[in-house]
Amino acid sequence: MKTPEQIFHSRDKRPHSDPEVFGRDEVRLANRNSGALLETLGLDITPTGTHYLLTHFDTPLLDAASHSLRFHGVFDAPYEMSLEEIRALPAVTMHVTMECAGNGRAGVSPRSCSMPWMYEAVGTSEWTGTPLRPLIERAGLRRDAVEVAFTGADFGFDRGQPHAFGRSLTLAQLAELDVLLVYDMNGAPLLPQHGAPLRIIVPGWYGMASVKWLTDIESLAAPYQGFQQVQTYRFRKDDNDPGRPITTIRVKSLMVPPGVPDWLTRVRFVSPGPTEIVGRAWSGGGVPVTRVEFAVDDVWQEAELLGAPGPFAWAKWRVNWQAEPGNHVLRCRAWDANGAAQPIGPQWDMAGFANNAVQAVDVFVGEMP
């Protein structure tokens, strides 16, 4: 009999094909994990149906009525709580922008064979739930606890290794982050694909930390060794690099592509004259965006930065563009209060993680037929 390692053999993480042509594995993943529609970037809240999705395995279909969350491991008083009991706890609603760490991967060359995101793995929702910290305190962390692990109900294989999707946070991270135990998204119960009936939201961090289909919270006396924590979601330069864990979201901005698109190339057709360009800008760790610039063919101007609906949510920006006939490339770039700015081109990472290079939109300005 073959072992799982032999059946789910170690795959080559590089695309086999032309770097410009996505392979079958990538197309399959893209068909399961939809991205946001860039035209919704004009809105504070991403409509739930167009919020991006990133699911590694299959979507578990869990029963909200019988669902419970187990607190176990090195706690003084382990306990279990039903969803009904969690819903009865004090509720908090937060606007949080979530972005997949793989967003922008398709712009890094050679790309890693994974979900081929360009710009669309980002969205903002109003998440409702109860703060996690009091529930951890209720269980009583033992003196030997160092981390808390969060496990989802979804199970599968990656590089031959069977595991349930899980992530951990150190006690220092838990003390600093306002982790929310979430059951509602935009005023309605979580949809199956977004983690129903219960997930966490880790504001300011890339999406991998926000574990969906949460079943277990385990206090650990040694650092968590789950696949999704130690084997991936690390910045690595090459195969020999042990890497650094990915945490907070890097500063980024996107614009709503103006005008109308060509079906296949998505090149925009824009009428000449005054055109309002709007977009969103965000950064991680609760750090506000301080400046956004907009460029037409590499000539930069400052955009007007409007408010953000919360410290962990994207801010709106706008600029007036006098569209002149011809072909142009539009770009936008953001800075945050830490002085971090988006790079013009992608920074190298083996798995194409956290590529926050500026967006480029090709437009043709001419009289509309």
Which of 163, 194, 250, 316 contacts ligand MTE by CB under 6 A?
194
Q: Is residue 113 a contact residue for ligand MTE (CB under 6 A)?
A: no
User: Where in 114-173 is the site for Mo ion (CB under 5 A)?
Assistant: none
For 352, the token pair is 């194409």
Cβ(275)–Cβ(321) under 8 Å? yes
Interacting residues with ligand MTE between 34 and 73 (CB under 6 A): 51-56
Residues between 152 and 171 with contacts to ligand MTE, criterion CB under 6 A: 152, 154, 165
Return the number of the residue (335 or 353) whose C-beta is nearest ligand MTE.
353
How many residues contact ligand MTE, by CB under 6 A?
A: 19
Kindly indicate which of the ranges 68-76, 204-212, 276-284, 302-310 contains the residues binding ligand MTE, using the contact rule CB under 6 A.
204-212
Cα radius of gyration rounded to whole Å, the chain: 21
194 binds, among Mo ion, ligand MTE, none (CB under 5 to 8 A by kind): ligand MTE
| Residue type (1 letter), 83 | L
Among the candidate windows 9-17, 93-101, 220-228, 320-328, which touches Mo ion by CB under 5 A? 93-101
Closest CA to 186 of 132, 122, 128: 128
Q: Look at the block and give the residue holding tokens 């808390």.
A: 148
Single out the residue of 213, 282, 317, 353 in contact with ligand MTE (rule: CB under 6 A): 213
Instruction: Examine residue 353 and tell whether it contacts ligand MTE (CB under 6 A).
Output: no
123 to 152: interface string for ligand MTE, x by CB under 6 A:
-----------------------------x
Binding segment for Mo ion (CB under 5 A), chosen from 74-82, 205-213, 220-228, 349-357, is 205-213
Q: What is the DSSP letter of 52?
A: -
- Shortest Å distance, C-beta 89 to Mo ion: 28
Cβ pair 310, 319 in contact under 8 A: no
**Residue 100 interacting with Mo ion (CB under 5 A):** yes
Amino acid making up residue 153? A
Residues 54-73 that bind Mo ion (CB under 5 A): 54
Q: Is 84 exposed, middle or buried (0-12, 13-18, 19+ CB in 10 A)?
A: exposed
CB of residue 286 to ligand MTE, shortest distance in Å: 19
Strands (E), 159-305: 161-170, 180-185, 188-189, 199-201, 214-220, 234-235, 244-245, 252-255, 260-261, 268-270, 273-282, 289-296, 299-302, 304-305
What is d(CA 108, CA 18) in angstroms, rounded to the nearest whole number? 14
Smallest distance, Mo ion to C-beta of residue 360, A = 23
One-letter identity of residue 88: A
- Counted residue by residue, the chain has a size of 369
Residues that bind ligand MTE (CB under 6 A): 51-56, 98, 100, 152, 154, 165, 194-195, 207-208, 210-213
